[in-house]
Structure 1
Amino acid sequence: MTGSWRVVFLLLLCVEAAVLAVLETFFLPLRLDGLVLPRLGDLPFPVTVVVAVVTTPLLVQWASGLSTRVAAAAAPLLVWFFTIFGLGFLEPGGQGQFLLGDWRTLLLIAGGAMPGAVAVGAVMARNAANRPGLYETAGIQ
């Protein structure tokens, strides 16, 4: 695959991360209230947190297959993260109540960012293992 196609696929992964962030944010307030989902005591049903836990590390792994650079692997995660925060600050009212107003929002941010960051760390470790001698360990003589 040529370099230009890799850039195109990386941009598509970033667009996919932004679309997933928007959908995860919009469907975060789902409740078991009988309107969209069955009625089971009006409980919150943050299924989009599970979607974020699964998809953000998957996008990072796909991006790492396109390039050995850590910045390229982290690009979908960064796009997802900044899209979530952009939606949080550009909400109607504009006071950032979406980000701090509910436990489900914090769970979404943690559920998407933490597994994605672990996947970026795995890419960094794989890069360090594939290039011995390039990275020096700290404190070991």
Structure 2
Amino acid sequence: MGLVDKMVFLLKQGTDTLLVQIYMDDIIFDGSSHALVAKFADTISREFEMSMMGELTFFLRLQIKQTREGMFVHHEKYTKDLLIKFDMGEAKPLSTPMSTTTGLDADEEGEAVDQKEYRSMIGSLLYLTATRPDIQFVVYLCARF
């Protein structure tokens, strides 16, 4: 069992390793040996009703791309969906969203924002920072503001 995440399990058999992640009713697993992974899949499917979905491509809104060079995690679809949700589908990307030396000032004469939508936007952006550390600073400033 994982020390940080109690729903991550690691099995070592000799030189082989099996990694299992459980989240609510979803389970993902992989290992260093095809035989160990197949044995685990067979054992768990005899105990529980489950569907084998094949190669992992999405998990918790994360996109997973597996290549010979390794496994890559990104939020491309999630990011595009957010832009559309918050009416920014036509926004142009910038390499640095905000200067790290700039602070935010209150706009006393500005139009009030919808607090529910603002909180939704900040929460969505906070989740996005898992794969986009380059936006952590600006999201932190907006969340504090």
The reply to whether TM is greater than 0.5 is no
Higher relative CO (Cα under 8 Å, sequence separation at least 6) belongs to 1
TM-score by length of 2: 0.28
- Report the TM-score, using the length of structure 1 for normalisation: 0.29
More strand per residue: 2
Q: Which has the larger radius of gyration?
A: 2
